[in-house]
């Protein structure tokens, strides 16, 4: 009902709503602006009319190809960073998170800095352990506003050169599209929840923290792929 109200009226919408409304105006005809199938029972639709509804044979939603294709694990993956964590030596470290786009598994690596060199080393570790991906998705640091974005410190020209040498297609999230990273942001949330419960305020050595990350990775990858 809200969507029908928006597209039938011009108003000073928020940017997100205005972009969606403009897209609907360009791609559809006003004749198509009707109630969705969930509204049929609320309008006292009888069984005969419900069985004849065209929604039984509706067009399939165009899902992202890299998310639904039959492929090996980690062939299509994302890359993100989270941290910092503090070691016993008072040094900082960060976690490189690589989620599989198809099977929702995750690979974790620990790096000692946010330098481009350490980021490339983490990619090399990932490729050596999991195999070479064909596609990697990530934010490039320039798409997000705020100094808290860890990826802003990475030299992406070097990263793209490395990916090109490895025959990897690197795809960056478009500007003003935070939902692109939703598949791995959820896994980051799971990882942080595990680390908060396991570590609390404790500071570990690097070897101990790597062990905890291996346990966390195993725990995330063994979760059931369904609602609980």
Distance CA 64, CA 139 (A): 17
The angle subtended at Cα 96 by Cα 93 and Cα 100, nearest 5°, is: 160
pLDDT in tens, 5-55: 555 566 666 676 677 777 776 766 655 555 555 556 655 667 777 677 666
Q: Count H helices and E strands in the chain, helices first.
A: 8, 6
- In this prediction, residue 226 has a pLDDT band, given cuts at 50, 70 and 90, of low
Neighbours of 67 (CB within 10 A): 11
CA angle 16, 22, 24 (to 5 degrees): 105
Query: What is this structure's pTM?
Result: 0.65
Whether the pLDDT of residue 143 is over 50: the answer is no
The owner of tokens 């995330």 is 220
Q: Is the peptide bond before 192 cis (omega within 30 degrees of 0)?
A: no
């Amino acid at each position: 009902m809200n969507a029908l109200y928006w597209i039938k009226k011009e108003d000073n919408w928020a940017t997100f709503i205005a972009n969606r409304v403009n897209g609907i105006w360009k791609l559809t005809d006003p004749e198509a602006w009707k109630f969705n199938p969930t509204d049929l029972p609320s309008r006292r639709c009888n069984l005969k009319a419900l069985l004849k509804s065209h929604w039984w044979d509706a067009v399939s939603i165009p899902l992202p190809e890299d998310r639904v294709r039959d492929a090996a694990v980690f062939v299509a993956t994302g890359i993100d960073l989270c941290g910092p964590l503090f070691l016993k030596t008072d040094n900082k470290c960060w976690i490189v998170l690589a989620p599989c786009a198809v099977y929702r598994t995750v690979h974790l690596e620990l790096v000692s800095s946010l330098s481009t060199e350490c980021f490339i080393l983490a990619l090399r570790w990932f490729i050596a352990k999991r195999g070479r991906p064909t596609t990697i998705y990530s934010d490039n640091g320039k798409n997000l506003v705020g100094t808290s974005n860890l990826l802003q410190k990475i030299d992406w020209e070097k990263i793209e050169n490395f990916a090109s040498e490895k025959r990897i297609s690197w795809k960056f999230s478009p500007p003003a599209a935070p939902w692109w990273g939703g598949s791995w942001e959820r896994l980051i949330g799971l990882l942080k929840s595990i680390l908060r419960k396991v570590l609390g305020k404790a500071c570990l050595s690097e070897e101990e923290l790597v062990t905890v990350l291996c346990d966390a990775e195993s725990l995330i990858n063994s979760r059931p792929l369904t609602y609980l």
